[in-house]
Chains A and B, each alone.
Chain A
Amino acid sequence: MTFAISTQGLARRYGDAMALYPLTLEIEEGEVFGFLGHNGAGKTTTIRMLTTLLAPSAGTARVAGHDLATDPMAVRASIGYLPENVRLYDNFTTVENLLFFARLSRLNAPEAAVDKALTFLKIEDLANRRVGTFSKGMRQRVGLAQAILHRPKVLFLDEPTSGLDPMGVRMLRDIIGDLNAAGMTIFMNTHLLSEVAKSCSSIGVLSHGRLVFHDSMEAVTARYGDESSLEELYMSVAPDEAAA
């Protein structure tokens, strides 16, 4: 079995505070993994370590087959990342923004890659407009375009539906499905249970920096009934957050 992401005791400490307790996790290639948890649970810390932005305090991890500590450049070449609330360069058009990131990704034909991403995300009409004038949903799609320009093996999305209207959420869900169908492994931080139920093939639940649940959606459905009972699962594994 090939894992797109595997961690062994990956942990992060800030001073005396433990942001992420040793995390051991394996995510298969081609999965859409939903990482659930309350605010401050450690989801973003995990994503920041897996995208090489933050050094772990302990443990090891491999992303797309490359070790985070020994080969961070190869990890970066294999991943796409969409942070929460990405703003991009306001004074630049969509194409200018995307060309910049395509060149940084060392693509041989950056213009073609940008055209392809614009078409894939159906945002050709935004191509020559300045990003500073865009709504949250438009920015999110341009942000996603920069993340998939280089066809990464693993795509990290941090709260991708945050601040989107229902139409935007649905559109993003469809895009995630299409990307996954094209063979991309997706690691998605979210706190929206409904999105996890509709988009993900496996889930993990993080509570106060500890992984308290990890299984496939299939197993969750078999164990807890239909997808709508995901809330019950969350309440049972992280009762204090649910009560809060």
Chain B
Amino acid sequence: MPDFSPILTIAARDAREALRDRFLLIATLALAAAAITSLATGSLALHTDVATYMAAKDTLIALGKSASAIASPEFWPLKLLRGTVEQLEIMGAVIALVAGYRAAVSERGRQTLALILTRPLRRWQVLAAKLLGGFFLAATAAGAVTIAAAILLELTSGVGLMLSDLGRLTVGWAAAVLYLSGIYTVGFALSLWLRSASAGLVYAFALWMLMVLVAPQIGDTMDPDNQVAGGVFAALSVPKAEQDRIKAGFATYETIRNDIEISSPTKHFERFTFAVLGIKDTYTGKPLGPILTEKSGDALFLILFAFGLGAIVLLVPINPDRLTKEN
């Protein structure tokens, strides 16, 4: 049975240090502010729609008419989380990357790693502790953003969150934790493995650009249906059968486009959360169970991304001599 006590000791210390880290604190607050700002504007607009509907309903009732004379609209407050998810995708990823870099660099060169590695514990326990610290950090930051968003929606949208909404938020939070933990691991691993930690950060940022910005953007740009607002087929009123016939002629192109898109963990995170939270129209109002079944591929990718990278970090031997030398 592996001994987890040193892992928890180091992870707890890392988490405490991260909470005292001004850069991480300010960056996380900035992320929360950006997410909340985008949410607040949408939430206020929804609140106005709800108020308009309620006023119309009251007027009908005051006139002695039935409220059923106007169709009851359906309000989906979680749809307003699009901006929040996008902030987590891009800004959250940067914070996770830098946190991973700092977790490695904070020990390198200042001799604390030498002090840890000369204690009676195994190398893999040190690495596992560092990864666990990142996992806690991702869970805390994503949790803070999710809770703030839920409270804001409840208070300002005029539509109360239901139990099922809270369940969806929890699933979305779990996906965010996996996504951010994976990115943290990339920053940590590269800063640990490369000869210079700063070179590791540069490589990590290059990877971030590919994963978070370039691959999803190429996928979007290559999508012909994204070239015209509302979709090119809809704009040209192309019938469904004709759409399918045209698409069949571009099957290889579509495969390449899709492959580029799904090479990015960001895209899997986006597809999964957009579906779970009902942000994408196709999934709005659908029950959670079938959505989870349909999106299990994206969920699996995120799990493999986080835990697979973690396993690689544990398996790759570290060089204590190099890592404990002064910079």
Partners in one complex: yes
Contact yes or no, A87 B120, CB < 8 A: no
- Kindly list chain A residues whose C-beta atoms are within 8 Å of the C-beta of B122: 73
Find residues 105-125 in chain B having any chain A CB closer than 8 Å to their own CB: 110-112, 114-122
Is there a chain A Cβ closer than 8 Å to B13's Cβ?
Answer: yes
**Is A87 within 8 A of B111, CB to CB?**
yes
Interface of B is mostly: helix
Which of B161-169, B292-300, B318-326 touches A? Answer: B318-326
On whether the beta carbons of B110 and A87 are closer than 8 Å, the reply is: yes
Q: B20 interface residue, CB < 8 Å from A? A: yes
Give complex CA distance A74, B117 in Å: 13
Q: How far is the CA of A84 from the CA of B13 in the complex (A)?
A: 23
Q: How distant is the Cα of A89 from the Cα of B324 in the complex, in angstroms?
A: 15
| Min distance, Cβ A49 to any Cβ of chain B, angstroms | 9
Q: Are B117 and A53 in contact (CB under 8 A)?
A: yes
Which of A103-111, A193-201, A219-227 contacts the other chain?
A103-111
Q: Is the CB of A81 within 8 A of B121?
A: no
From DSSP, what is the main secondary structure of chain A's interface residues?
A: loop
| Min CB–CB distance A224 → chain B (angstroms) | 35
Chain B neighbourhood of A60, CB < 8 A: none
For the complex, is A229 an interface residue (Cβ under 8 Å from B)? no
Q: Which of A71-106 contact B (CB under 8 A)?
A: 73-74, 76-77, 79, 81, 83-89, 91-92, 100-101, 103-106
C-alpha spacing A227/B10, complex, angstroms: 46
| A104–B111 alpha-carbon span in the complex (Å) | 16
**Cβ–Cβ contact B320 & A53, under 8 A:** yes
Q: Check B6–A83 contact: CB distance below 8 A.
A: no
Number of interface residues of A (CB under 8 A): 27
Q: Are A85 and B115 in contact (CB under 8 A)?
A: no
Docked complex Cα distance between A88 and B117 (Å): 14
A88 to chain B, nearest CB (A): 6
B48 sits at the interface (CB 8 A): no
B9 at the interface (CB under 8 A from A): yes
> Given A53-B324, A87-B111: A104 and B119 within 8 A (CB)?
yes
Choose one: A74, A76, A84, A100; the contact of B118 (CB below 8 Å): A76
Chain A residues in 8 Å Cβ range of B326 = 84-85
Q: How far is the CA of A64 from the CA of B112 in the complex (A)?
A: 23
Closest to B114 in A: A83
* Residue of chain A at shortest CB distance from B122: A73
Q: Would you call B58 an interface residue if the criterion is a C-beta within 8 Å of the partner chain's C-beta atoms?
A: no
Chain B residues positioned under 8 Å from A100 (CB to CB): 9, 13
Contact (Cβ within 8 A) A104 B121: yes
Task: Choose one: A85, A89, A91, A106; the contact of B120 (CB below 8 Å).
Answer: A106
A-side residues, CB < 8 A to B, are 48, 51-54, 73-74, 76-77, 79, 81, 83-89, 91-92, 100-101, 103-106, 146
Chain B residues close to A by CB (< 8 Å): 5-6, 9-10, 13, 16-17, 20-21, 110-112, 114-122, 320-321, 324, 326
15 A-B pairs in the complex with CB atoms less than 8 angstroms apart: A53-B324, A73-B121, A76-B118, A76-B119, A77-B120, A83-B324, A84-B111, A86-B111, A86-B115, A87-B110, A87-B112, A89-B13, A103-B5, A106-B6, A106-B120
Which 4 pairs of residues, A with B, have the shortest CB-CB distance?
A77-B120, A87-B110, A54-B321, A104-B119
